Amino acid sequence: MEFQDMVLVSVDDHLIEPDDMFIRHMPAKFKDRAPKVVRGSNGAHQWQLEGMRAPGLGLNAVAGRPREEYGFEPVSYEQVRKGCYDIDARIGDMNANGVLGSICFGSFPGFAGARFQKMQDKELALATIRAYNDWHVHDWCGKYPERFIKLALLPLWDVSLAVAEVERMVKLGVHAVSFPENPALIGLPSLHADVWEPLWATCEANKVVLCCHIGSAGNAPYPSDESPIDAWITSMPISIANAASDWLFASFWKRYPGLRMALSEGGIGWIPYLLERADFTYQQHSPWTRTTFGKERPSDVFRRHIITCFIDDDFGVRNRQDIGIDMITWEADYPHSDATWPHSPEHLWKSLRNLPAYDIDRMTHLNAMREFSYDPFSAMGGRDKCTVGALRALATGVDTAPMSRGGLNPSQSSDRPVTSADIKKILSHM
């Protein structure tokens, strides 16, 4: 196998919502109260919701910029690639990167729809979530259904409403929902609460994956204002480890053997130690903690129920068997700064080139297709039409040259390392 022969399905990408997304899908009763885009005093595009403005429309959507211009802006549509918010341009950018399929997390609602969960008018909040999902399914994914794994938001303040939305979405071909990595941190019941049982049961019955993105329960704090931002970027994927332990030791896996959750954008290199530690903890401490896995170990449960993913992870790939190769998936993370667009296949191949072809196929697409009930081969006319080489042949007109788009990046005004305080200053002006 050569890198052009790989098939790439990304389980974690991002989109920026276009300003007209609610026009077709918001019920007439709420059209005048639907979220809308307004201009800030500094020229930034901002979403306005219940009279409050959500800053940072395009936070970290830096694909296609010179790396010197990466940062926690841009703040307007003009400062990002069209592929961030235009579906036709997105397909072009996917083709240029050799990516067949994609799960696209939203931007302004926050992961798991945190902004919508906090709305005061719950009737309006429910209408907004349903309209968002309809836009995502019909407008974003609907034009090229063979290229996307649909992802829905849920009204998590009422589990009965969340169950109803899952059931509505499943009828539209949805097999993934966004769920907070730790619901207790955003004012919801903990994942161990009995109130969630109907949701677990519904997701299991319909093969719906709970996608828990890093930062969906709030980002880990910066170490200090003086800390180089590199420290936070380095530990960001690993920040989901605490949530991973919480999910791993949950009791409901016994009741829902078909239930799956995904550690979205969490990386994989740290997982072997987590599993080793979990197994030791169970062996050493279970006589007094009274946790029981029966004849199994915690690591067995992890490898059966928890989907993992990586962007570029040599160590994790080398230790794929310890992690659980049948649940490892790949992500492109377009258009964020960790993404290697438009050279993802070349970067990935450095880690995979000496592996057996079956191991490569499992991690690049087979696991994702199985766990997310996704079958692009039938619609695309076979595997040969879905490879990196075949898709790139369709992208001859896509300009992938780095383009300066301006912005507020602090690295442009000083030679010293960018600190957490610099990032906070940028965010405060959005």
- Residue 339 sits in a domain whose CATH number is 3.20.20.140
Contact 241, 270 (CB under 8 A): yes
Among residues 245, 248, 239, 194, which one has the least CA distance to residue 217? 239
Contact 73, 61 (CB under 8 A): no
Q: What band does 243 get if pLDDT is binned at 50, 70 and 90? A: very high
Least confident segment among 52-66, 185-199, 373-387: 52-66
Contact 126, 154 (CB under 8 A): no
What is the per-residue pLDDT for 342? Answer: 98
Q: Is residue 4 part of a domain?
A: no
Tokens in use for 248?
């791993």
281 pLDDT exceeds 90? yes
Residues spanned by the domain of 19: 9-428
Q: What band does 74 get if pLDDT is binned at 50, 70 and 90? A: low
239 pLDDT exceeds 60? yes
Residue range 404-423: average pLDDT? 71
427 pLDDT exceeds 90? no
335 pLDDT exceeds 60? yes
409 pLDDT exceeds 80? no
What is the per-residue pLDDT for 57? Answer: 74
407 pLDDT exceeds 80? no
The helix (run of H) or strand (run of E) holding residue 61 is: none
Tokens in use for 138?
């019909």
Q: Is residue 1 part of a domain?
A: no
Tell me the per-residue pLDDT of 142-153, one tens digit each, with 9 for 90 and over.
999 999 999 999
Tell me the per-residue pLDDT of 168-205, one tens digit each, with 9 for 90 and over.
999 999 999 999 999 999 999 999 999 999 999 999 99
Q: Which amino acid, residue 429?
A: H
Task: Give φ, ψ of 298 to 5 degrees.
Answer: -55, -40
Q: Say how far apart CA 189 and CA 172 lie, in whole Å.
A: 28
Mean pLDDT value across the chain = 94
Least confident segment among 57-61, 65-69, 370-374: 57-61
What is the per-residue pLDDT for 142? Answer: 98
Least confident segment among 65-79, 145-159, 221-235, 265-279: 65-79
Higher pLDDT, 302 or 430: 302
Q: Say how far apart CA 68 and CA 414 lie, in whole Å.
A: 12
Q: Is residue 3 part of a domain?
A: no
296 pLDDT exceeds 60? yes
Residues ≥6 apart with Cβ < 8 Å to 231: 223
Q: Is residue 298 part of a domain?
A: yes
What is the per-residue pLDDT for 73? Answer: 65
Number of domains in the chain: 1
Q: Is residue 177 part of a domain?
A: yes
What is the per-residue pLDDT for 309? Answer: 98
413 pLDDT exceeds 60? no
Q: Is residue 274 part of a domain?
A: yes
Higher pLDDT, 422 or 170: 170
pTM of the model: 0.96
Contact 63, 340 (CB under 8 A): no
Among residues 3, 68, 96, 69, which one has the least CA distance to residue 342? 96
What is the per-residue pLDDT for 283? Answer: 97
Q: Is residue 320 part of a domain?
A: yes
Strand partners, 146: none
For residue 35, whether the previous peptide bond is cis, meaning omega lies within 30 degrees of 0, is no
Strand partners, 101: 9
Q: Is residue 107 part of a domain?
A: yes
